[in-house]
């Protein structure tokens, strides 16, 4: 099983996961993103996102490598933190998603995307954000997930 079992981590870890899920999530009103040359600039967070993702899924290390070698607009791209990635979740979109502004990020699968944020206390796990239901989960870094780069 690739998904981390929260039951083994106790109440404190569950509370941290819940706080992580709620932080930064917001409805994405019209005009929040400025689109230019394959990127989406978020006027709320001041982050610039890769607009279209790779069709491939990656283990976390390869996802990070993909971002650092992304040659989009000459920018220095990286794998987002969990808190950055969850700001893309559009809570106004119901399950089964994708829980993201589909006008800005068309073609986004309702699936998990990697973050660079490690899952505390478990070195072989990291946070991934689901754009199916709009929340985070801890996963083994060897799991295959999508990636959306940021700078």
- Say how far apart CA 148 and CA 63 lie, in whole Å: 9
pTM over 0.85: no
**146 within some domain:** no
- Number of residues that make up the chain: 151
Cβ-in-10-Å burial (0-12, 13-18, 19+) of 12 comes to: exposed
**83 within some domain:** yes
**Number of domains forming the structure of the chain:** 1
- Say how far apart CA 51 and CA 48 lie, in whole Å: 9
**147 within some domain:** no
Please list the helix, strand and coil fractions of the chain in percent, rounded to the nearest 5, in that order: 20, 25, 55
**150 within some domain:** no
Q: What is the mean pLDDT of the chain?
A: 86
**Residue whose entry in the numeric block shows the structure tokens 């220095």:** 76
**101 within some domain:** yes
List, for residues 66-125, the tens digit of each pLDDT value. Answer: 999 999 999 999 999 999 999 999 999 999 999 999 999 999 999 999 999 999 888 899
**27 within some domain:** yes
- Give the HSE-up count for residue 14: Cα atoms under 13 Å, Cβ half-sphere: 7
Domain boundaries, position 98: 6-140
What is the C-alpha R_g of the chain?
15
Q: What SS3 class is residue 134?
A: coil
How many CB atoms sit inside 10 A of residue 146's CB? 20
Inform me whether the pLDDT recorded for 7 exceeds 50: no
**12 within some domain:** yes
**149 within some domain:** no
Structure tokens at 10: 């106790």
């Amino acid at each position: 099983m690739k998904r981390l079992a929260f039951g083994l981590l106790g109440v404190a870890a569950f509370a941290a996961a819940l706080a992580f899920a709620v932080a930064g999530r917001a409805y994405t009103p019209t005009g929040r993103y400025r689109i230019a040359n394959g990127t989406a600039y978020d006027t709320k967070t001041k982050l610039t996102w890769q607009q279209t993702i790779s069709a491939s899924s990656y283990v976390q290390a390869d996802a990070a490598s993909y971002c650092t070698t992304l040659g989009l607009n000459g920018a220095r791209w990286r794998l987002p933190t969990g808190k950055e990635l969850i700001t893309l979740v559009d809570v106004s979109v119901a399950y089964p998603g994708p829980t993201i502004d589909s006008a800005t990020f068309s073609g986004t699968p309702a699936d998990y995307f990697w973050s660079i944020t490690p899952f505390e206390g478990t070195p072989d796990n990291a946070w991934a954000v689901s754009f199916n239901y709009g929340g985070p989960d801890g996963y083994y870094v060897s799991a295959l997930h999508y990636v959306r780069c940021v700078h």
